[in-house]
Structure 1
Amino acid sequence: MSGKSEIRVVTFDERFAADFARLNYRWIEKHFSIEPHDRELLDAPFEKIVETGGEVFFALADGDVAGTVAMVRTDTNTYELTKMAVDPAFQGCGIANHLMRACIELAKADGVGTIFLETHSKLPAAIALYRKFGFVETPIDPGSQYSRAEVRMELAIADRSM
């Protein structure tokens, strides 16, 4: 990516649904195995995420999808941040920062108090990103939908400035 690329974050657009799946399948298959809940979200993001009160964001670099993330509404006060993926060609360019800010702004605008996520210790760059944005580790939920989940983090949104 050239240093002059304009990064723009947009909400769900069906034109980019295949990119949401492609980018996420790539990183999950690289580090883990695809699980049923992955397929459910990746193969039907509008129905499983957007129509149920969540959102899928896309970071566009000069019109190309450089990264994506989903916010799944789990209850009236909570979002789950999930399926964060950045195209390898754009890694290290701040794409994830743009996506994280969009997620936090959504939660603030919706009056949501907490964002949580589940991840794995074999993804230290992701964990560092989440910590940078104020996420703290909390006990893992034994009822997690992912067998790979070994780290759970939360961010309290109240009075969070960006």
Structure 2
Amino acid sequence: MGRVSQAQARENRERVVRTASRLFREQGTQVGVAELMKASGLTHGGFYKQFASKEALIDEATALAFGELNESRTAAVESGSDERAAAQRALVDTYLSVQHRDNPAEGCPVAGLAQDMARDSGSREAHRVYAEGVGDFAEWLATEDQDGIARLCTMVGALVLSRATRDTPLSEEILTAARTALTETG
């Protein structure tokens, strides 16, 4: 089999990072390299040609996930809402939806990666990116009436609990209660 071009190698690397970002949010960072490469449509042997370690991939995948979160916040403001409050409300409604609950791979990295960041005691770039991303998100959620950290904790907590109770009526009750708490006063 021939060597891949530099352009193809870059494309393959980007595909692995995108796939890892999704799988890590959905299944956690314990996903194995073989499974990750298979999901990317590439061979296991190609991983170490692209990445120094799995930790390096976790760093890049975490940065990509938070970049996507930032883009969605920017898009919420640009998609017809001139007011930040309306954009925040739209984001809260989307965040605390059944669709977001049921699609963690596409979802928020704050909720999707929280347990992995809490379990790992190593100090790597992913932890820095995660903490910075949480702070930025909380700052963006702040209103005149509500602290951004409290709003973020409500959103993330509700999402995690609704995922954990997915097959029960309680799941949607949790989402509705959190959405109501955040939108009636903020």
TM value normalised by structure 2:
0.27
- Of structures 1 and 2, the larger Rg is shown by 2
Higher strand share: 1
